[in-house]
Amino acid sequence: METAPTSIPPRPRAALVFGVANDHSLAWFIARALAAEGVRVGLSYGDERLERRVRPLAESIDSPLVIRCDVSNEAALAETFAAADTALGPRLDMLVHSVAFATREDLTSPFSETSRNGFGRALDVSAYSLLALVRHAGPRLGPGSSVLTLTYLGAERVVSGYKVMGPAKAALESCVRGLAEELGPRGVRVNAVSAGPVRTLAAAGVPGFRTLLDGHAERAPLRRNVTGEEVAAAACFLLSDRASAVTGEILHVDGGYNILGV
């Protein structure tokens, strides 16, 4: 008697997304889009006051993990990845870093008056944390895994009001290239989306954000602002096998704003 060929169902892909504060967060748009593609998505948030906002979002996408993690705290990172092992399994197909921080004082003072501590904190939370996430993820990232972070034009050009976040994002973009070179031989890709301005909690902390948003819509080649969904679509592309030959890339999703000169 012939037996039917057995086929092993494909393992659902697993993603861990850092930086969900609320339903406006770019991390949330990305998490929701990944979940819609059948990815099992674990969510991490930074501040305990946000839990009541994040839990219902997690439930709406059947997220198997919702965990608070301060990305500047090594013990919290270790706990988060241990929890991910239980909730998502031992392999991470996708790791999303959507985290940034600068003190209000440093965002409102003249750039040259950025405090030494504030500069260090902004670079630690906004840039170094990408290295920390990858280090803690360790062998959970294997051939075909993909890491993604979010950056902004202020890394490359002077954007008035972006202050210390400019050097923080420049460092982040440099980390993307360094990690892409290091992890490439393991088959792990590392990329960034450089998003145009989108109204979120973090964006609200940038002085003059409203003016930035209006100016962008007026001058960008597409003559409009970008949406969270559009940022997420590009992020999902970079995270997916469709971008299997893309690494170390900073993909601008900004309606073309970055190409403009005078």
Residue with smallest beta-carbon separation from ligand NAP:
46
- Nearest CB to ligand NAP, comparing residues 189 and 216: 216
What's the angle, vertex CA 122, arms to CA 117 and CA 248, rounded to 5?
A: 140
- Nearest CB to ligand NAP, comparing residues 157 and 186: 157
- Nearest CB to ligand NAP, comparing residues 144 and 249: 249
Q: Report, in Å, the least distance between residue 68 CB and ligand NAP.
A: 8
Q: Do the Cβ atoms of 148 and 96 come closer than 8 Å?
A: yes
What distance in Å separates the CA atoms of residue 205 and residue 129, rounded to the nearest whole number?
20
What distance in Å separates the CA atoms of residue 133 and residue 96, rounded to the nearest whole number?
9
Q: Report, in Å, the least distance between residue 163 CB and ligand NAP.
A: 13
Annotated active-site residue 162? The verdict is yes
What is the chain's alpha carbon radius of gyration, rounded to the nearest angstrom? Answer: 19
What distance in Å separates the CA atoms of residue 193 and residue 19, rounded to the nearest whole number?
15
Q: Report, in Å, the least distance between residue 90 CB and ligand NAP.
A: 23
- List residues bridging with 151 in a β-sheet: 194
- Nearest CB to ligand NAP, comparing residues 188 and 226: 226
- Nearest CB to ligand NAP, comparing residues 2 and 52: 52
Nearest to 127 by CA among 82, 79, 85, 178: 178
- List residues bridging with 17 in a β-sheet: 43, 96
Q: Report, in Å, the least distance between residue 158 CB and ligand NAP.
A: 16
Q: Report, in Å, the least distance between residue 3 CB and ligand NAP.
A: 51
Q: Given the residues 45, 128, 152, 257, select the one marked as catalytic.
A: 152
Residues near 221 by Cβ (< 8 Å), separated by ≥ 6?
255, 256, 257, 259, 260
| DSSP 8-state code for residue 138 | G
The binding site for ligand NAP (CB under 6 A) comprises 19-21, 25-27, 45-47, 50, 69-72, 98-101, 125, 150-152, 195, 197-198, 200-203
Hey, which residues are catalytic here?
A: 152, 162
